Amino acid sequence: MSGSGQRRWGWHQLRSGWADRVVAAAQVRGHELVLDLGAGSGALTRPLAGAAGRVLAVELHPSRSRALRAAMADHDAVSVRDGDVLTMPLPARRFRVVANPPYTIGAQLVRRLTARSSAMVRADLVLPRWMVRRYLSNPPRGFTAAAGLHVPASAFRPAPRSDSAVLVLRRTRPPRRRR
């Protein structure tokens, strides 16, 4: 996809050193199921593969998901799915999210992940700083919000127009069990 097409969708790939920092700051544990939503070419999927018990990487664009599936073929704990993160079924068991989603869907994704029916317990989302500030002043019901790493525009290809940050959302009560 061309740089202008990537920009139109709000997709900005993290450079590998920054992806490593985001995953390290997320403090993922070896028994956790972690979703990389909007996985792209796998900048976060790769370091997550070495940190999490299971990784589910979801990518909307078939060419990127095919390339990621091939790149992660030797990692038994990683599954790559084609799909829209806004409509795909979320896991019924507790899960975490560490993702750099397209900026154009950031607010919709946060609403979906923090819905009462979601089993998500924590999310570390790379989002524009203005959006992170909005959630800090008004976190979703049932969650705390904190600012994680500051991620400069230069940490991405192509570079977005403004800096980003990691929004850390933590559930304040255990998720409801689905029936």
Phi, psi of 25 (to 5 degrees): -65, -25
The answer to the question of whether 59 is labelled as a binding residue is: yes
Q: How many CB atoms neighbour CB 70 within 10 A?
A: 9
20 is in an annotated binding site: no
At residue 10, φ and ψ (nearest 5 deg) are 75, 25
Q: Is 14 annotated as a binding residue?
A: yes
Q: Which residues contact 13 (CB under 8 A, 6 or more apart)?
A: 6, 40, 41, 43, 100, 156, 157
Residue 150 CA to residue 47 CA, distance in Å, equals 19
The length of the chain in residues reads 179
Residue (of 80, 75, 67, 89) closest to 36 by Cα position: 80
* Residue 38 annotated as binding site: yes
Q: How far is CA 89 from CA 4, 123, 159, in A?
A: 30, 17, 31
Annotated binding-site ranges for S-adenosyl-L-methionine: 12, 14, 38, 59, 84, 100
Annotated binding-site ranges: 12, 14, 38, 59, 84, 100
